Amino acid sequence: MDKEQFIRQIAPDSKSRYEFWIKFINRLKFECISEIGVYRGDFASEILKNCRGIKAYYMIDPWKHLDDWNKPANKKDELFNKFYEETINRTNFAKEKRIILRGKTTEIIDKIPDRSLDFAYIDGDHTLRGITIDLMRVYPKIKDGGWIGGDDFSPTIWQHSKEFEPTLVFPFAIYFAEAMGEIIFALAHGQFLIHKCNSGHYKFINFTKHYYRDISLRNQLTRNFWLNKIERFIKNER
């Protein structure tokens, strides 16, 4: 079975992002994984609990307030310290597998050897700056034939109100896949998936309800366009 058929087989009946990624990781028997943007440890806990074949799970997160990050999740240091403790408590059952790297991606990513990861999941800074750094710095850490997935593949850059920086996981992840000559999948529940197959042949495969036809930014900057996108996204995700 080729990779497109494999993803098509497990994606439609997954009722949540957790369910999809658990199936995905277990079917491909991944052993070495990284998560960028751990926050309170919910995703890490679910994956470690349900994917028993994992031998190493790198957790990357600064768990601190960042002055140059204008997003709603940017809390005070006191709260981030609590989130860090929550993460530790939630994943203590798998402490022999977890490797905690507390810091920004640029500060600690090189503690992971190149071409060592089967899979990396990105759910950190979703601004243009953040997703650019995360994808470019994690890519060399992925084995040939490995995968990069991520959250908040929002069809509108205005995922949050206009007082915050736009969310640019979409379309930047598509641009990145094209630049690297890789296959990228758009999945339900706001997820994306890039296969590092080194074929040199870019392809965008959309398994969603056609949210991602326009991968340019011009129309996103007009009020009526992004409001209609948000309304359609909310309606179809219910």
With contact defined as beta carbons under 8 Å apart, do 192 and 173 qualify?
yes
pLDDT for position 225? 58
pLDDT at residue 212 tops 80: yes
218 φ, ψ (degrees, to nearest 5): -55, -50
Residue scoring higher pLDDT (67 or 222): 67
Name 192's Cβ contacts closer than 8 Å, sequence gap at least 6: 149, 150, 153, 169, 170, 173, 184, 185, 186
pLDDT digits (tens, 9 = 90+) for 98-147: 999 999 999 999 999 999 999 999 999 899 999 999 999 999 999 999 99
Distance CA 193, CA 121 (A): 9
Distance CA 160, CA 157 (A): 8
- Structural domain spans, the chain: 3-237
pLDDT digits (tens, 9 = 90+) for 70-107: 777 878 989 999 999 999 999 999 999 999 999 999 99
pLDDT at residue 238 tops 60: no
pLDDT digits (tens, 9 = 90+) for 161-184: 777 888 899 999 999 999 999 999
Strand 142-150 with 191-195, pairing: antiparallel
3-237: what fold? Rossmann fold (3.40.50)
